[in-house]
Copies of this chain bind each other. A is one copy, B any other.
Amino acid sequence: MGTLFQQRLEAAALTTESALERLLSRDPVPGEEARPARLVDAMRYAVLGGGKRLRPFLLIECARLLGAEGRAVVDAAAALECIHAYSLVHDDLPAMDDDDVRRGRPTVHKAFDEATAILAGDALLTIAFDIAASADAAPAVRVELVAALARAAGVGGMAGGQMLDLAEDATWDEAALRAMQAMKTGALFAFAAEAGALFASAPAVERDRMRRFGRHFGAAFQLADDIDDVIRDGAAGRPSLATLLGPEAARAMIGQEADAALALLAPFGERADPLAGAVRFMVASAR
């Protein structure tokens, strides 16, 4: 049972998982030579069978809110999850965060080896763009989807944010942390929400509204995650708004981000209930 949000989150997870199963097949598609078993295994290990699928949920529900649904939307959600999974595989590498365990299982470079993990990340990133470009939507929608996904994931988005996060000489004041997180995690959330507007061929003003909603949603999610880290590991963890300002102030910030997100949903009325439920869930879980 659960709340409407939890039901929709579970449904999004199931459809995304099934799309990933289909797309990460062991058989090559036209234009490919063959898919080496070890590389497919590592890609599947990285992306299947775990994760809350919060980004796919956001994409699918934002699309539905604007009147778009179907296989193309689900494929876009799968592409987004491939990008998210690639970023975890590369971030876990010894040269980056050097993590041995993720979601209770050995990380990809532990379960396989470092070279395979680098290649599996590369291949997940690459296949995401094949999936987005091959979705069952008008070519004009697909090119916008590919370009938006690339900008959210690349030098001016997630990868750039990870670069900032690694900078050893950084001064982590509030503004710097906000800017880093907006790129490192915010950009993919903004894309997820924007993709809904893309599929619905919504006007630019709607697209912008959804991007802003995704950004606030992502910021609230990140703050909740940071508070969680402080509670688990104490203030010795990596710099975050929760370590800098303390959990109390971080909780107040979640409230502000949530209010901004909910205000952007207000014009949609109760049709936005699953998304509003997700926002309220984040606020509640960070208590």
A residues neighboring B (CB under 8 Å) = 28-36, 38-40, 43, 86, 90, 93, 95-96, 113-116, 118-119, 121-123, 125-127, 129-130, 132-134, 138-140, 142-144, 146-157, 159-164, 166-167, 179, 182-183, 186-187
Contact = CB atoms under 8 A, between A and B. Distances in A.
Closest CB pairs A-B (n = 10): A32-B156, A130-B150, A95-B114, A126-B154, A139-B139, A133-B146, A31-B151, A123-B155, A39-B163, A133-B147
Main secondary structure of the interface of A (DSSP, over half): helix
Copies in the complex: 2
A116 B167 CA distance: 10
Contacts of A34: 156, 160, 179, 183
B33 A90 contact: no
A113 B95 CA distance: 9
A9 B129 CA distance: 30
A119 B157 CA distance: 12
Contact of A166 (B43, B115, B140): B115
